[in-house]
Amino acid sequence: MAVTVSARYPGLSPQLYDEVVATLDLDANPPIGAILHLAGQSDDGIQVTEIWRTEQAFQAFNDRFVSALQMRGYLSRPTIETAQLHNLFAVEMDTIERMGAVSLPGTYAGAAL
């Protein structure tokens, strides 16, 4: 069953997040089971919201993501909550479909939308 993931990465800068995401080559090699990934800057770091096909798929990718963060000196522990997906509402699904599978920093994503 699909799950939602809410994760807070305290002290993670947008620059380090972007560097790590770039090294994971997500556009060419998306993680198995990933449906949607959103990242926003919070007062104390980065807030991530995701939808995954299964919790196991999320865990497999999360291990890879956290390892990449640690290799770049980010040693804080994220706070992660998962829950079964109850509803998905996307008003502009055609916009999302036109964008396709692409990872864009917010400044570029806003222009694409």
Pick from 5, 9, 67, 79: nearest CA to 36: 5
Rounded to whole angstroms, the Cα distance separating 23 from 26 reads 8
CATH code: domain of residue 91 = 3.30.70.100
Averaged pLDDT in 10-residue chunks for the chain of 113 residues:
96 95 87 92 96 96 95 95 91 70 56 49
Q: What is the pLDDT of residue 113?
A: 46
User: Across all residues in the chain, what is the average pLDDT?
Assistant: 87
Q: What percent of the chain has pLDDT over 90?
A: 66
Domain interval for residue 18: 3-103
How many folded domains does the chain comprise?
1
Residue 108 included in any domain: no
Is residue 89 domain-resident?
yes
